[in-house]
């Protein structure tokens, strides 16, 4: 991704919209015991399309915004989301995923990592009460819901980021699938 003011503005807009939607209503909307969590999906989407450094920066910024607006312990969300963004960005840089369904596993892993790591950080910081086993069920259900929502969230983020991307992983896939010129017996260069 080109480090231009436009790129920063687009990433900032994604972070702001994701956090506002999350804390203002979607966070309490429940489907079969799970709640919708857009924040790790937005961070993972930016990381997958832009790389590890923008991913880590997006994670840090989104976490900071989340802690500011919710009134939570400042730094806790930033720490976890920085790791999520960096991890997703490194996955893209190392494996160069180009499959159309790539957002599903990436979204699931990002959501699972975020919910689990935030729980661990909360434990270490200030949870002194009894903890219910329902937390485990909720983490699994939220991860499944994250996987389901990953495709539309990644598609929207890709559309927003596309003008500032140096390389779009899904464009690479399309180029690879372009039909090859071939001769009459299926070998290139033997045409008439």
Partner 1 sequence: MFDSKVIRRRRAALAIFVVLSIGMLTVYFGESDGGAFHSVQRGAQAVFAPLETGASRALKPARDLFGWFGDTFDAKGENEDLRAEVEQLRRQLGVAETARHDVRELRALVGLTESQGYPEGTDPVGARVIVRSPTVWYSTLKIDKGSDDGVRRNQPVVAAGGLVGKITDVTGGTAEVTLITDSSSAVSAQVMPNGASGIVHPVVGDPNDLLLDYITKGRRVTEGTTVVTSGFESDGLESIFPRGIAIGRVTKVDPRETEQFQRVHVKPLADIRGIDYVQVLTERGVSTQAGVPLQ
Chain residues binding partner 1 by CB under 8 A are 20-33, 35-37, 39, 52-53, 56-57, 59-60, 63-64, 66-76, 78-79, 82-83, 86, 93-94, 115, 118-119, 122, 125-135, 138-139, 142
CB-nearer residue toward partner 1: 25 or 183: 25
- CB 28 to partner 1: min, Å: 5
CB of 69 to partner 1, least distance (A): 6
Beta carbon nearer to partner 1, 53 or 156: 53
Which is nearer to partner 1, 64 or 150 (by Cβ)? 64
Q: How far is the CB of 25 from partner 1 (least distance, A)?
A: 3
The whole-angstrom separation of Cα 73 and Cα 66 is 10
Q: Which two tokens stand for residue 179?
A: 């039909």
DSSP bridge pairs for 34: 31
Is residue 190 within 8 A of residue 74, CB to CB? The reply is no
Phi, psi of 12 (to 5 degrees): -60, -40
Q: What DSSP designation does 33 have?
A: T
How do strand 30-31 and strand 34-35 relate by DSSP bridges? antiparallel
Q: 25 vs 100, which CB is nearer to partner 1?
A: 25
180 CB neighbour count, 10 Å cutoff: 6
**What is the smallest separation between the CB atom of 162 and partner 1, expressed in angstroms?**
23
Q: Which two tokens stand for residue 148?
A: 């389901």
| C-alpha pair distances (Å), 185 with each of 56, 176, 188 | 50, 22, 9
Q: Which is nearer to partner 1, 145 or 147 (CB)?
A: 145
Min separation Cβ 42 and partner 1, Å: 13
């Amino acid at each position: 991704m080109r480090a231009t003011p436009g790129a920063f503005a687009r990433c900032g807009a994604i972070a702001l919209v994701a956090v506002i939607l999350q804390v203002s209503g979607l966070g309490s909307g429940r489907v079969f015991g799970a709640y919708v969590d857009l924040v790790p999906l937005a961070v993972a989407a930016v990381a997958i399309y832009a790389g590890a450094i923008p991913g880590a920066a997006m994670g840090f910024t989104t976490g900071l915004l989340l802690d500011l607006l919710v009134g939570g312990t400042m730094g806790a969300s930033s720490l976890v989301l920085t790791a999520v963004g960096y991890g997703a960005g490194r996955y893209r840089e190392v494996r160069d995923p180009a499959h159309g369904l790539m957002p599903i596993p990436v979204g699931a892993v990002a959501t699972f990592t975020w919910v689990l790591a935030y729980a661990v950080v909360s434990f270490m910081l200030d949870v002194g009460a009894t903890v219910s086993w329902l937390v485990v069920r909720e983490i699994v259900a939220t991860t499944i819901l994250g996987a389901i929502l990953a495709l539309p969230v990644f598609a929207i983020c890709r559309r927003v980021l596309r003008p500032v991307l140096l390389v779009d992983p899904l464009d690479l896939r399309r180029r690879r699938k372009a039909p090859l010129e071939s001769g009459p017996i299926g070998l290139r260069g033997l045409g008439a």
